[in-house]
Amino acid sequence: MSPTYEYIVAILITVMMVGYTYYSLTSMTSSQLQLVEEEQLDAVAERLFDKILLTQGSPEDWGSNLYVNNTSLKDLGLSLKHGGMYELDVDKVMRLYPGSTEILNPLYINSTTFGTLAGLYDRDRGYWKYGFRLSIKTALNMTIERADSKSPTEKFRVNVKNYMDKPASNAEVKGTYIAIYIVKQGNQEYFDYSYTTIKNMTDWSGQTILDFKNNIPSVPQGSQNAYCLVVTANYYGLQSQNSIIDNEIKTLGLTIQGKYLIANFTQVEDIARGAHHLELTALELTSSLNIILNPAIDVTNGKAGKIVNYGGKNYRVYELQNPPSQDVIFVGLLVKKLGKWGLVFASRPRTPVAVDYMSVGIPSAGIKTVTMSRIVKIGENSYYTELTLWRTSE
Amino acid sequence: MMAKAISRIIEAVVVALLILAAFSISSYLILPPNTPHQRASQDLTKFGYNLLSSLAANEGFDQLIYDSSGRLKEGWEQQLKVVINSLIPHNIIFNITVYNATLNELGFVDLKELNSVAISNAEDEFGRANEAVFLKAGENAQISYVYTTRWMKVIVINMKLALLGSA
């Protein structure tokens, strides 16, 4: 055989080998690239979720420190200082709530700051590398309804579902019925409370009735009073709390941020506007159902510090003399409107959805998303936390 | 001369084929480290521990397994199954075995199985945990959780989790 043919065959073999090597390497890397990218998204989500739930952020007291804002926050983590694993700081959680359409939360840490600190948002270029949604909701979703039309209500129907929206059967339900009253003695007025507690178990459908017929908390004769019921449900270790006010003042909203209470007028159709006269002693309820009375000081400009109405005094800001402790779940104020006394409550954190915090936009169709969930604690109560992460472009 | 040349070409072709075959086989075998599968099972493990520790934190296992005098409740296995089933996502299957841990005369830990029936949401027709479903599921995680009851009994909860549709 001529050496020319040998060379030709050798070159053909070399070209074939180089060509196939190029093809196989390209297909191998491109087929594995998808796996690597998917793995990276899982890893990023896991690291981010651990960072949110297991670290305290910087400064460590950024939740209660009112001087920390969107520009001075250095690192974000919701964990409670000196708390247990997966135990969150209620003040930090509250700072992820933007506020209502009427009252914006002045302490709100926006998602762009969060995204920048977590490496999800490129502030220089102004775009999100990863989109996210963080939700924190009560582990048990509890609804309380009045089961009679008496005043004060004697029977309440409680329905308990777990975070998977399944009925929480055999859950222990404890109701604490609280009466708050004002008694006049000469020119002096004093503020006090009494309460009764009963327990029951939910049936297969997660429902139970709390009947206070013979257990209505007593109030002094001739006193001005208002009632509220605080219900604690415990489903084999998962605990949540909710409340219902018997004489609720629907035209007044109450929000708590740090040590400040913000009372604002809320327009409700078919309900007379009227002025609201507020009793400036806040009633605080802890997750173990202890009751604390905490004086509130008006820090809004203006003289009529106790009045909120439709018009010039449509909101008031009150500073609580003692900042609420971590286990305070409800803060209430006694209010008189059109001669009748009632209550307004602010919950801490908000129930049933404490946080629904997300980047701009939603994942478009076909984009891989990663969702992770954990059960966390705030005070004595359990919350279900879910993080969804996606790439904004693939 | 001619025969030598032909054999050289055949040799070269065989070597080339061997190299190409090696590339082809390796492309199917090579997987990057920490594949999504490993990641998924890592998260499954964390999820399992988180769930068990949440129930343990407020004496949930005491309420589920033991009565007020510290004896095993009748039908506790079913109750535990209902509770766990209601707390995990629909695409996760589980199989739980609960052991009572005691020290024997030699100082070693003896584990005695407490549940007489399967505590699982993937049972076969005989009421046993269906291992085939776990094998087919792909992603599996095994969690062991040690819990001391309020009556100072030590129980070991072995929970096997599998993510359906991850194979």
Q: Which of residues 131-170 of A touch B (CB under 8 A)?
A: 139, 162-164, 166-170
The larger pLDDT score, comparing residue A302 to residue B138, is at B138
Q: Which of residues 66-95 of A touch B (CB under 8 A)?
A: 85-86
| A376-391 average pLDDT score | 92
A201 touches chain B (CB under 8 A): no
Owning domain of residue B115 = 36-163
Q: Is A221 helix (H, G, I), strand (E, B) or coil?
A: coil
Q: Is A198 helix (H, G, I), strand (E, B) or coil?
A: strand
Q: Could you give the percent of chain A with pLDDT greater than 90?
A: 40
pLDDT of residue A278: 85
Within-domain flag for B113: yes
Instruction: Please determine, for residue A158, whether its predicted confidence score (pLDDT) is greater than 90.
Output: yes
Question: Residue A330 — very low, low, confident or very high, per pLDDT cuts 50/70/90?
Answer: very high
- Disruptive mutation site among B87, B96, B145, B166 for chain A (greatest number of A CBs within 10 Å): B87
| A25-33 average pLDDT score | 71
β-bridge partners, B27: none
Q: Which of residues 26-65 of B touch A (CB under 8 A)?
A: 26-27, 30-32, 34-36, 39-40, 42-43, 46-47, 50-51, 53-61, 63-64
Look up residue A236 and give its two tokens. Answer: 């084999």
Q: Which residues contact B165 (CB under 8 A, 6 or more apart)?
A: B91, B137
Chain B residues with CB under 8 Å of A375 CB are: 50-51, 54
Residue A118 sits at φ, ψ, to 5 deg, of -90, 0
pLDDT of residue A267: 78
How far is the C-alpha of A135 from the C-alpha of A385, rounded, in Å?
A: 6
Q: 3-state DSSP: chain B helix, strand, coil percent, rounded to 5?
A: 45, 25, 30
Question: Residue A96 — very low, low, confident or very high, per pLDDT cuts 50/70/90?
Answer: very high
Question: Residue A184 — very low, low, confident or very high, per pLDDT cuts 50/70/90?
Answer: confident
Range from A170-174, A271-275, A352-356, B43-47 carrying the lowest mean pLDDT: A271-275
Residue B56, CB-side half-sphere exposure with 13 Å CA sphere? 16
The per-residue pLDDT of chain A, averaged, comes to 87
The shortest CB-CB distance from B58 to any of A20, A24, A237 is to: A237
Picking from A248, A246, A251, A254, the residue whose alpha carbon sits closest to that of residue A268 is A251
pLDDT of residue B38: 53
How far is the C-alpha of A252 from the C-alpha of A245, rounded, in Å?
A: 13
Q: Which of residues 99-118 of B touch A (CB under 8 A)?
A: none
* Most confident segment among A255-259, A276-280, B92-96: B92-96
The per-residue pLDDT of chain B, averaged, comes to 84
pLDDT of residue A221: 85
How far is the C-alpha of B103 from the C-alpha of A258, rounded, in Å?
A: 51
Instruction: Please determine, for residue A39, whether its predicted confidence score (pLDDT) is greater than 70.
Output: no
Chain B residues with CB under 8 Å of A43 CB are: 34, 39
Instruction: Please determine, for residue A308, whether its predicted confidence score (pLDDT) is greater than 90.
Output: no
Pairing of the two strands B154-163 and A224-235: unpaired
Chain B residues with CB under 8 Å of A162 CB are: 86-87
Cα of B73 to nearest chain A Cα, Å: 14
Q: Is A214 helix (H, G, I), strand (E, B) or coil?
A: coil
Instruction: Find out whether A155 and A147 touch, Cβ atoms under 8 Å.
Output: yes
Within-domain flag for B7: no
The larger pLDDT score, comparing residue A383 to residue A191, is at A383
Pairing of the two strands A130-138 and A140-146: unpaired
Instruction: Please determine, for residue A206, whether its predicted confidence score (pLDDT) is greater than 90.
Output: yes
pLDDT of residue B166: 59
pLDDT of residue A174: 94
Chain A residues with CB under 8 Å of B13 CB are: 13
Size of interface A-B (CB pairs under 8 A): 108
The larger pLDDT score, comparing residue A297 to residue A195, is at A195
The DSSP code for B51 is: H
| A246-269 average pLDDT score | 84
Within-domain flag for B2: no
Q: Is B43 helix (H, G, I), strand (E, B) or coil?
A: helix
Instruction: Find out whether A384 and A375 touch, Cβ atoms under 8 Å.
Output: yes
B79 touches chain A (CB under 8 A): yes
The larger pLDDT score, comparing residue A301 to residue B42, is at B42
Tell me how far apart the 2 most distant CA atoms of chain A are, in Å. 128
* Most confident segment among A8-12, A132-136, A287-291, A356-360: A132-136
pLDDT of residue B39: 55
Span A224-237, pLDDT tens digits: 888 999 999 999 98
pLDDT of residue A34: 64
Within-domain flag for B15: no
Within-domain flag for B27: no
Q: The pTM is what?
A: 0.83
Within-domain flag for B5: no
Residue with tokens 């009764």: A196
pLDDT of residue B23: 75
Kind and range of the H or E run holding A48 = helix A3-54
Q: Given an 8 Å threshold on Cβ–Cβ distance, is B86 in contact with A164?
A: yes
| A251-272 average pLDDT score | 83
Cα of A41 to nearest chain B Cα, Å: 9
Residue A240 sits at φ, ψ, to 5 deg, of -140, 160
pLDDT of residue A1: 60
Within-domain flag for B17: no
Span B64-97, pLDDT tens digits: 999 888 899 999 999 999 999 989 988 899 999 9
CA dihedral angle for residue A232, residue A235, residue A237, residue A238, rounded to 10 degrees: -70
Sign of CA dihedral A115, A117, A122, A126: positive
The 10 Å CB-count burial string (b at 16+, else e) for A6-15 is eeebeeebee
Rounded (5°) CA angle A263-A269-A272 = 70
Q: Given an 8 Å threshold on Cβ–Cβ distance, is B39 in contact with A42?
A: yes
Kind and range of the H or E run holding A173 = strand A172-185
If one counts the domains in chain B, the total is 1
Instruction: Please determine, for residue A353, whether its predicted confidence score (pLDDT) is greater than 60.
Output: yes
| A367-387 average pLDDT score | 91
